[in-house]
Amino acid sequence: MAKQKNRQKTVKLSVRALAAQLLFLVLEQGKSLSTLIPEQQSKIKPQDLPLLQEICFGVCRVLPRLDSIIAMLLDNPLKGKKRIVHCLLLVGLYQLLYLRVPAHAAVDEVVKGTESLNVGAFKNLVNAVLRRFLREKTGILAKVDQNWHTLHPDWFINRLKKYYSNWREIIEANNQKPPMWLRINQNYSNSEHYIQLLEQVGVKGIAEGRQSVRLSQPSSVENLPHFTEGWVTVQDLHAQWAASLLEPQNDELILDACAAPGGKTTHLLELAPKGKVVALDIEQNRLVRVNQNLQRLQQTALVIQGDATNPTSWLNQVTDFLGESAVQFDKILLDAPCSATGIIRRHPDIKWLRRDQDIEELVQLQKQILTTLWSLLKEGGVLLYATCSVLQEENHQQISAFLQSQSDAILEPLLFPLQENMLGYQFFPTENSGDGFYYAKLRKRVK
Ligand SMILES: C[S@@+](CC[C@H](N)C(=O)[O-])C[C@H]1O[C@@H](n2cnc3c(N)ncnc32)[C@H](O)[C@@H]1O
């Protein structure tokens, strides 16, 4: 019996079955694809990874449409443990609708997945549902698509409608696949020069300013010239504003308060290679990535695991490092934990992981971090508040409340045009451009 159990555990799953299993973990257990997919990397063939990603991200992108089709084809919904069968059907339908794979081979692969996922009893049902879909596709889609699908949860749509007349544009942008953006390290190259290097390896890039390049097709980092030597970092266009807006200087002490995985830490050090940068994050395992990124870019920062709401637990590491009895920071980057609703097109599982009630909790955490860090900022110093959210509670409203509560906080103008009823600047996700990001630059008044 024990042997049999072990044998079941070690059954190697096909890409389709694995995709169904990961989707089950996302949709039923609230796990994130950003954690799950990297865990599979050592377990599957490298050439299978793009298909696994395409199916998992793709299903999350269009989930309500696929769910409606399944609801039309089943008499009773698959509940409880049978949800894995539902996930197999999602994978099957996604392939039939969105991937250029021969239909019958795709169905066969998914049907085989029932055995490897220990739901062989549902083999005939999966086969019947997918084949019926193939036969009746036109009629089924006509019914399913008679109304516009937002493909987003209602709570999110309701929040967007409250503050943005262009909410449909945000939704449409979220439903697209995101472009891949590179940040070129100005110490080695620039965008015009780097697109020539890309051309030599058959990758087409489009320059945006001196610093940024958009790839016409996503590429693996191994293909990017001088990636291992730190010439280039994968980072969204609008995320690239964080370090530039903070304007780090070489002699400054700078706190990157929520630093992992370090995309903005390394940018700060590219702009101010002699700046004293402290990279703090609450999650030890995420700090591994910060260290890897610093190493790749040959940069040095003081990397600390700690809670930004409780500086007494980690500030002594900064004072010890500097050999001083007390410290205050010249600049602070607070890239706050947030709903991540600005990067839905990059992480479509966020739509199904985040819940309406999470937002208030996040707002309270952001407020606590912001207020705590403010006391660590020098007079005359600057704190840049950033989120990858499009929700005003986390952005404009958060900053508005902060300015009302802190008489020594001044909101600095940014380089962007003013937006109506908006403190700070809200970027929205846009085709061929960046993701949804928010920035507010706060200076501490000199008494
Ligand atoms: C938006 S991510 C940061 C992304 C990072 N700045 C970058 O550009 O690569 C937010 C980070 O905040 C961290 N975090 C959440 N709560 C925190 C806290 N109380 N103190 C410090 N870090 C925290 C999370 O672990 C997460 O890594």
Side chain identity at residue 201, one-letter code? V
- The answer to whether the annotation marks 264 as part of a ligand binding site is yes
Ligand 1, residue 340: give the atom nearest the CA. 1
Ligand 1, residue 286: give the atom nearest the CA. 27
β-pair type (438-444, 425-426): antiparallel
Query: Is 33 within 8 Å of 48 (Cβ atoms)?
Result: no
Q: Which of 427, 435, 428, 263 is nearest to 345 (CA)?
A: 435
Domains and their CATH numbers in the chain:
2-149 (1.10.940.10), 180-234 (3.30.70.1170)
- Residue located via tokens 């020594």: 408
Write down the catalytic residue from 56, 60, 338, 388. 388
- The answer to whether the annotation marks 429 as part of a ligand binding site is no
Separation of 287 CA from ligand 1 center, angstroms?
Answer: 10
Please list the residues that pair with 279 across neighbouring strands: 256, 303
Query: Which SS3 state, helix, strand or coil, does residue 435 take?
Result: coil
- The answer to whether the annotation marks 145 as part of a ligand binding site is no
* Tens digit of each residue's pLDDT, the chain (447 residues): 444 444 445 568 899 999 999 999 999 999 999 999 999 988 899 899 999 999 999 999 999 999 999 999 999 999 998 999 999 999 999 999 999 999 999 999 999 999 999 999 999 999 999 999 999 999 999 999 998 899 999 999 999 999 999 999 999 999 999 999 999 999 999 999 999 999 999 999 999 999 999 999 999 999 999 999 999 999 999 999 999 999 999 999 999 999 999 999 999 999 999 999 999 999 999 999 999 999 999 999 999 999 999 999 999 999 999 999 999 999 999 999 999 999 999 999 999 999 999 999 999 999 999 999 999 999 999 999 999 999 999 999 999 999 999 999 999 999 999 999 999 999 999 999 999 999 999 999 998
Separation of 376 CA from ligand 1 center, angstroms?
Answer: 18
Residue 382's H or E segment, with its range, is strand 377-387
Ligand 1 is surrounded, with C-beta below 6 A, by 258-264, 280-283, 286, 307-309, 335, 337, 369
Active site includes 56? no
Please list the residues that pair with 180 across neighbouring strands: 215
Provide the residue count of the chain: 447
Separation of 337 CA from ligand 1 center, angstroms?
Answer: 5
In whole angstroms, what is the distance from residue 355 CA to residue 357 CA? 5
Ligand 1, residue 263: give the atom nearest the CA. 9
In whole angstroms, what is the distance from residue 143 CA to residue 139 CA? 6
Separation of 145 CA from ligand 1 center, angstroms?
Answer: 39
CA-proximal residue: ligand 1, atom 17 (nearest): 282
- The answer to whether the annotation marks 153 as part of a ligand binding site is no
- The answer to whether the annotation marks 259 as part of a ligand binding site is yes
Query: Which SS3 state, helix, strand or coil, does residue 81 take?
Result: helix
Separation of 126 CA from ligand 1 center, angstroms?
Answer: 42
Structure tokens at 206: 């489009």
